[in-house]
Amino acid sequence: MIKKMKALVCRECGKEYPTAAIHVCEMCFGPLEVKYNYADIKNTISRKKIENGPPSMWRYIDLLPIEGEATVGQHAGFTPMVRAKNLGAFLGLDELYIKNDTVNHPTLSFKDRVVAVALTRARELGFETVACASTGNLANSVAAHAAAAGMGCYVFIPGDLEAAKVLGNLIYKPNVVEVEGNYDDVNRLCSEIAAEHRWAFVNINIRPYYAEGSKTLAFETVEQLGWRAPDQVVVPMASGSLLTKIWKGINEMRTLGLIDRVPTKLNGAQAEGCSPISTAFKAGRDFFKPVKPKTIAKSLAIGNPADGYYALKATAECKGAMEAVTDEEVVEGIKLLAQTEGIFAETAGGVTIGVLRKLVKQGAIKKSDVTVAYITGNGLKTQEAVIDAVGRPVRIQPSLVSFQKTFKMGKNGGSDA
């Protein structure tokens, strides 16, 4: 196998480091990123090789930061790319796709991708215990994968998470630590804990590797569209990492000659109650001001987004857009996607659909644009958000008369309901 990784490199000052469990530049505190040996990768990778690979994100192993084979999360990724004809018609788009990570394996969110990379890499680096700071989905995925990998596990979550996301940790029996505070409090605490314990904190000291897993959403998009990059992507933003890695992934495919043009514009989606990145973008600023989150889109409730700066930069570079929607629009977005495409997204998906709708109205996304909306988590995990907005079942007696009376049907089934 070729040596894919050259080094970790500081995104700010360019200083290089060995590919260890570190995430911060010692000189300027900038975040570290994996630097690849693209020349050698280019010699081995091809469309054909990828197409003959496994039906998972590991068909793109040549562009993922691990040294050997995948040992954790072998089935993650390669989720459906759904041609959304109904939603497209409703919005006035000719070619709209939903990248459906609500059915990612095994914990029903895109986090299974990043965790598969993070835990495989953590094992390569000799760790026996993994940990994370999470708004919910990441904790679920780390807990599940740690159970399967037989690793020790600590997950740190804010005190106000949805019931299904709390249960979705406990069932795997990790140490679930509920911190009295919001995600940013959890995150700061974990940064301090990570400095004191030799654990693989997937989104702290393992973050340079972990974050690369998100690129597979871009790779799959390009392959599933028949080896072409879309004109528009709409991506939910919490830390901003997913958006920047989708951009990186699409551009890597061009670097390696797998596609020859990238017409893609990035569109970042946030909830108004936590929109530090989109607010900065709309004000034309290249820096953001942290906020105290207040939104039902808890999976996106990061007030101090680690990759906010880079998300602003990438979106400006491709002349994309950013928008935010209200909690009401989030609920509307969830219902619209469910009722047009039969896909039940969590709140982050409601944010994405709400913002997609807004950007089409504003003319930022045009009718003929090939558009992909990323739906990154499953609605069954955030039922609280929609429980009062979906009505009740019709209740009847167990008799034919009761049924027909309720639905005002004649004896032969003619319905006027």
Partner 1 sequence: MIKVRIPTPLRPLTKNQGEVEATGANIAEIIENLNSSYSGLKDRLCDEKGELRRFVNIYVNEEDIRFLKGRDTVLKDGDEVSIVPAIAGG
Number of residues that bind partner 1 (CB under 8 A): 39
CA proximity to 142, closest of 221, 213, 241: 213
- The verdict on 83 binding partner 1 (CB under 8 A) reads no
Q: Are 64 and 213 in contact (CB under 8 A)?
A: yes
Q: Which stretch binds partner 1 (CB under 8 A): 35-43, 184-192, 251-259, 352-360?
A: 184-192
If the CB atoms of residues 73 and 305 are measured against partner 1, the closer one turns out to be: 305
Find the distance separating the first CA and the last CA of the chain, reported in whole Å.
Answer: 64
If the CB atoms of residues 137 and 232 are measured against partner 1, the closer one turns out to be: 137
Spatial CB neighbours of 195, under 8 Å, sequence gap ≥ 6: none
User: Which of 115, 306, 312, 334 lies at the binding interface for partner 1 (CB under 8 A)?
Assistant: 306
Shortest separation between residue 102's beta carbon and partner 1, angstroms: 20
User: Which of 190, 253, 330, 334 lies at the binding interface for partner 1 (CB under 8 A)?
Assistant: 190
If the CB atoms of residues 283 and 394 are measured against partner 1, the closer one turns out to be: 283
What track of x and - describes contact with partner 1 for positions 115 through 144 (by CB under 8 A)?
A: ------------------x-----------
3-state SS of the chain is CCCCEEEEEECCCCCEECCCCCCECCCCCCEEEEEECHHHHHHHCCHHHHHCCCCCHHHHHHHCCCCCCCCCCCCCCCCCEEECHHHHHHHCCCEEEEEEHHHCCCCCECHHHHHHHHHHHHHHCCCCEEEEECCCHHHHHHHHHHHHHCCEEEEEEECCCCHHHHHHHHCCCCEEEEECCCHHHHHHHHHHHHHHCCCEECCCCCHHHHHHHHHHHHHHHHHHCCCCCCCEEEEECCCCHHHHHHHHHHHHHHHCCCCCCCCCEEEEEEECCECHHHHHHHCCCCCCCCCCCCCCCHHHCCCCCCCHHHHHHHHHHCCCEEEEECHHHHHHHHHHHHHHHCCCECHHHHHHHHHHHHHHHHCCCCCCCEEEEEECEEHHHCHHHCCCCCCCCCCCCCCHHHHHHHCCECCCCCECC
What track of x and - describes contact with partner 1 for positions 26 through 45 (by CB under 8 A)?
A: xxxxxx--------------
Q: Which stretch binds partner 1 (CB under 8 A): 119-127, 191-199, 344-352, 379-387?
A: 191-199
Shortest separation between residue 166's beta carbon and partner 1, angstroms: 19
- The verdict on 292 binding partner 1 (CB under 8 A) reads yes
- The verdict on 195 binding partner 1 (CB under 8 A) reads yes
Say how far apart CA 232 and CA 225 lie, in whole Å: 13
- The verdict on 184 binding partner 1 (CB under 8 A) reads yes
Q: Given CA atoms 105, 107, 110, 114 in this order, what sign does their dihedral have?
A: negative
- The verdict on 304 binding partner 1 (CB under 8 A) reads yes
Shortest separation between residue 205's beta carbon and partner 1, angstroms: 8
- The verdict on 294 binding partner 1 (CB under 8 A) reads no
Q: Which stretch binds partner 1 (CB under 8 A): 94-102, 238-246, 358-366, 388-396?
A: 238-246
What track of x and - describes contact with partner 1 for positions 203 through 222 (by CB under 8 A)?
A: xx--x---------------
Residue 35, both tokens: 């630097």
What track of x and - describes contact with partner 1 for positions 158 through 177 (by CB under 8 A)?
A: --------------------
Q: Which stretch binds partner 1 (CB under 8 A): 147-155, 161-169, 180-188, 405-413?
A: 180-188
- The verdict on 185 binding partner 1 (CB under 8 A) reads yes
- The verdict on 191 binding partner 1 (CB under 8 A) reads yes
Shortest separation between residue 9's beta carbon and partner 1, angstroms: 14
- The verdict on 239 binding partner 1 (CB under 8 A) reads yes
- The verdict on 23 binding partner 1 (CB under 8 A) reads yes
The CA angle 245-250-256, to the nearest 5 degrees, is 120
User: Which of 290, 294, 361, 400 lies at the binding interface for partner 1 (CB under 8 A)?
Assistant: 290
- The verdict on 376 binding partner 1 (CB under 8 A) reads no
Query: In the complex, which residues of this chain contact partner 1 (CB under 8 A)?
Result: 12, 23-31, 133, 183-185, 187-188, 190-192, 195-196, 201, 203-204, 207, 238-241, 287, 289-290, 292, 302, 304-307, 309
